[in-house]
Amino acid sequence: MPEKQLQRISNTISFRIALPAFLTILLFVVAIFYVVLPQLEQSLLNRKQEMIMELTETTWSLIGDYHERELRGELSPDEAKRRAVLRIGKLRYGPEKKDYFWINDMTPRMIMHPYRSDLDGKDISDFRDPKGKRLFVEFVKTVEKQGAGYVDYMWQWKDDSDKIVPKISYVKGYEPWGWIVGTGMYIDDVKAEIAAIRNHLAAVSAGILVIISLLALYSIRQSLLADRERQRIFAERGELLKSLEQSTERFRNLIETTSDWIWEIDRDGRCTYSSPRVENLLGFEPVEILHASLTTFAPPDQAAEAGAAFAKLLAAGKPFTGFEITSLGKDGQVVVLECNAVPIFDERGQLAGYRGVARDITERKTAMEVLKKSRDDLHASLEETVASLASTAEKRDPYTAGHQQRVDRLACAIAREIGYPEDKIEGLHIAALLHDIGKITLPSEYLAKPTRLSSEEKALFKLHPEVGYEILKRIQFPWPVAEIVLQHHEHLDGTGYPQGLKDDEILLEAQILAVADVVEAMSSHRPYRPSLGIDIALDEIRAGQGIRYHAESVDACLNLILEKRYDLSYTMEEGGGGVG
């Protein structure tokens, strides 16, 4: 072929290879910067708005707590408001802990502003931002119209009164006191995050472009080399035929010297060829193997089972891998062989036999047995450790001794009833035994108090899932045990604690555990009350089915107790529990 024509063909091939690659990266960059990034920016802004709304709602609830104390007569109206202002004025959040909350009334008059104390107690109805917006009047209008909402305006940058930037705030009114509480986010923060993402995507895109370019160049080069190689093959075809004959001889030598045993059998399973390696594996000469079955050398107590399994494989006429045969060598040594084979067909397409390889896996099988024993020992150690941790928590609370074990047993029974996988039930079992481990930090007098807890004591008591999470999160369980413990008091409708999670935000194991925990707790005695009885407990989960509690778990629990007569009082010390 003329040199110029070959060059022209090579250039055409190069262009066809390179063009799709560069079009791909171009479409990638356009999609990232003109589709994905704008959506990401809007999504980020929406998340920030949701965040300030949630923070404001939380702060609003703090005001409600003080108002309740006022209504109960614990605090005077002035003292309740003073404490609320003092507490909210100290709240900070954000990366620099400079984001804050403020309070004004419906006049509007400033009640408290952490960074503008000069406005405290003053009429701010005519206070305007640099664009002339009467922002505090807008806050009042928003609350009067809809109770809560977002307002955008210009304001100083955190505690820097010389820097004025755009801001969006979420405000909510507290009607009993005529207050408005709010917090906000700075648009510049969102833009800075988007800029960082844009720069990162630009760097990634540039890297991808370089990689694709190199791959395209590599493909072009390989294509040119392939063209030259084809020319060389045509020129040396006669010589390669001779080399093929030599390669066949080398391949035969390789088969006969390889560390694996190569064999062929007919369709009845009788050996028609054996490589010399069989002598190293079993001690037999290749000629001694001919016309024998591969299962001939199985131990007498295994011969029938091995022969039947091998005959079934041969009858299928399909390739097989991983077939294990335990064989006895010539000197009586036990050898475990792993056989892989492909079928051989004659010119009429009929099965003629199999060609395969057998490998000595005796050491590997021994190692696997040792590994299995080690795993079993480790699992037993884990069970003992978990039991010790659970016992530690219950020894501080004699009134609820056995509670964690009964909850564990009921939760695992519910999980099996709904068809939950056994490997995940084992994780549920561990979490159930430890779900109240966080109570070890509670004062003993709280646990044994014969009367109901106060609001402050209840608030402290409700921290035990978070404490349990902190205790367990550094332990490398193969299941999300710490997260299950953290979420076991969450409800589907968001009324639970400590995070107020909803629906699919709650792990299924935690939803199952919540049902078991409620039923056991209500049907057991407590220091401040006698048992409410199993009927009251079942009425509670029926009333909350699909609202607070996982519907399928509630059905399973009711079926276990009412239909299958499940004994709720039975604990591990009495012979039950666990995942067995």
* Phi, psi values for residue 494, rounded to 5°: 85, 5
- Strand spans (E) along 391-460: none
Banded model confidence at residue 459, pLDDT cuts 50, 70, 90: confident
Banded model confidence at residue 378, pLDDT cuts 50, 70, 90: low
Encode pLDDT of 248-296 as tens digits: 666 666 666 666 788 788 888 888 888 878 777 787 888 887 888 877 8
Q: Is the pLDDT of residue 570 over 60?
A: no
> pTM for the full model?
0.41
* Phi, psi values for residue 394, rounded to 5°: -75, -25
Encode pLDDT of 10-60 as tens digits: 556 656 666 676 677 677 666 666 767 777 777 888 888 899 999 999 999
Instruction: With H, G, I as helix, E, B as strand and everything else as coil, classify residue 98.
Output: coil
Q: Is the pLDDT of residue 240 over 70?
A: no
In angstroms, the CA 74 to CA 207 distance is 65
Section 51-70 average pLDDT = 94
HEC secondary structure over 330-368: CCCCEEEEEEEEEEEECCCCCEEEEEEEEEECHHHHHHH
Section 325-350 average pLDDT = 83
Encode pLDDT of 218-227 as tens digits: 776 777 676 6
The structure tokens listed for 483 are 């997260």
In angstroms, the CA 86 to CA 79 distance is 10
DSSP string, 10-60: HHHHHHHHHHHHHHHHHHHHHHIIIIIHHHHHHHHHHHHHHHHHHHHHHHH
Instruction: With H, G, I as helix, E, B as strand and everything else as coil, classify residue 344.
Output: strand
Encode pLDDT of 132-187 as tens digits: 999 999 999 999 999 999 999 999 887 777 889 999 999 999 999 999 999 998 88
Q: What percent of the chain has pLDDT over 90?
A: 34
Instruction: With H, G, I as helix, E, B as strand and everything else as coil, classify residue 374.
Output: helix
In angstroms, the CA 300 to CA 296 distance is 9
Q: Is the pLDDT of residue 416 over 90?
A: yes
From residue 264, how far is each of 250, 339, 355, 559 by CA, in Å?
A: 19, 12, 4, 59
In angstroms, the CA 488 to CA 432 distance is 9
Domains contained in the chain, CATH given? 43-193 (3.30.450.20), 259-360 (3.30.450.20), 369-574 (1.10.3210.10)
pLDDT of residue 221: 75
